[in-house]
Amino acid sequence: MTSELDIAPLEGRAAAVVEAARKAGADAADAVVVKSASLSVDVRNGKVEESERSESDDFSLRVFIGRRVASVSSNGFDDVDTLAERAVAMARVTPEDPFATLAERDRLATAFPDLDLVDDRQIDSTDLTERALATEAAALKVAGVSKSGGATASTGYSGLVLATSEGFSGSYAVTRHSTAMTAIAGEGTTMERDYDYAVASHLDDLDDPSVIGRRAGERTVKRLNPVKLTTRKTAVVFEPRMAATLVRHFTSAINGQSIARKTSFLREKMGERIFAEGIRIVDDPYRRRGLASRPFDGEGVASEVIDLITDGVLQTWLLDTATARELGLETNGRASRGGSGPAPGSTNVSLSAGSQSPQAMMAALGDGIYVTDLIGQGVNGVTGDYSRGAAGFRFENGEFVEAVSEITIAGNLVDMFARLVPANDPEYRFGVEVPTIAIEGLTVAGR
């Protein structure tokens, strides 16, 4: 599939569309092309259930007339003059947006670092089938696993091209490989299921199928015969892949759009201590082979590595150009871009590791709940109120004593962030690197 990754020639086409918009009467314009393709194979019980291939080429033109802005989209570059004229006509009749603008010329990237985001290896459906079958076989070998919920192996790429009337022209591509397995243990009404997965930009960085399958099986078997707890206040420990959701709640709360709209529970907290002393959270767009890495942001701005939290203190919002202008600030190169207009977002986010192992942390806590699964979306972004269904294990003195399910964890993210303690086992998944996290004094509601 990598033979289709040559997107650089599209830069000239995108620049031509921008020029067509200027000739049609636009004061400024930018054009984005997002090219992507993926191939996946699903297997169950040793047989291929589905093989799917998808491809897309999305083109978007955004034009400005004064403070009026309009966007049009297409699946190709056919008749760019007509497309540009339509976008300009739309912009002339739209209401003014006082903050709409392209990024300033002096903020645009002029050098693009090599982040090694493209794997040149050729992968076909036969390779994916073998990987998925090996993953499933490893899960079914785990004692106690009764059946397969299915395994999936996939590969894909995407490329982004951006051209602006301020003179920016750039492109980059990324590849993705992933493997996932769902296992089932038990029978009838006592069945439990769990999963494991891995994603990487390079196949060499992806966990071996046997490891992914075994982990899925072992996680599932451990969930058998769960108990229902009585309601209590206790320490809650989040395994890394569940802890990542807390980091995402944080980055959502410092998104500049949420701050500008006054819909974030952190909107009055700039410069205040949000987390405990010593905690640092970093956003790094230049992580080599990172799943959220990029050489420039969605407006062509040169990004930089920034601290979101330093020694527990909130340092900045995530900003694109328009949101920054609305807040009286400057962009920090966090514009994300698909086929539509830019919006602020994070890149590779890392929460600093602590000094204790998860086992030592749980032993020090005495007893509590170790969370391996979260259910629902019960987070209020305005107030920070947190309430989510969960499952996992009850522990005593650092040792798991029984599986638990059908519980609800409740608290407020302001208090949760302040009491958050990281362990020393960071994992990097989907652009977030975070260790096991412990938070004392949460309400766990059960029967």
pLDDT computed for residue 339 by the predictor: 61
Alpha helices in 26-140 (DSSP H): 80-92, 125-140
pLDDT computed for residue 76 by the predictor: 66
Encoded tokens for 438: 């412990």
What is the enclosing helix (H) or strand (E) of 321?
helix 321-326
pLDDT computed for residue 179 by the predictor: 98
Short-list 28, 90, 12, CA closest to 63:
28
Short-list 386, 388, 319, CA closest to 347:
319
- Mean pLDDT split into 10-residue runs, the chain, 447 residues: 64 90 95 93 96 90 95 78 91 94 94 94 95 98 96 96 94 96 92 96 96 98 94 96 97 97 97 97 97 96 96 98 96 86 95 96 96 92 96 94 96 97 94 97 90
pLDDT computed for residue 59 by the predictor: 87
217: left (phi over 0), alpha (psi -120 to 50) or beta: alpha
pLDDT digits 0-9 by tens, 208-235: 999 999 999 999 999 999 999 999 999 9
pLDDT computed for residue 197 by the predictor: 96
Residues ≥6 apart with Cβ < 8 Å to 126? none
pLDDT computed for residue 267 by the predictor: 97
pLDDT computed for residue 5 by the predictor: 61
Residue with tokens 């209401």: 95
Query: What pTM value is reported for the model?
Result: 0.94
| DSSP conformation letters of 252-276 | HHTBHHHHHTT--TTTT-TTSB-S-
Torsion of the alpha carbons at 42, 46, 48 and 49, rounded to the nearest 10: -70
Encoded tokens for 51: 């093989």
Distance of alpha carbon 397 from alpha carbon 361, whole angstroms: 9
pLDDT computed for residue 2 by the predictor: 47
Please calculate the CA angle 339-344-349 and round it to the nearest 5 degrees. 110
Phi then psi for 362, rounded to 5 degrees?
-70, -35
pLDDT computed for residue 397 by the predictor: 87
Neighbours of 227 (CB within 10 A): 14
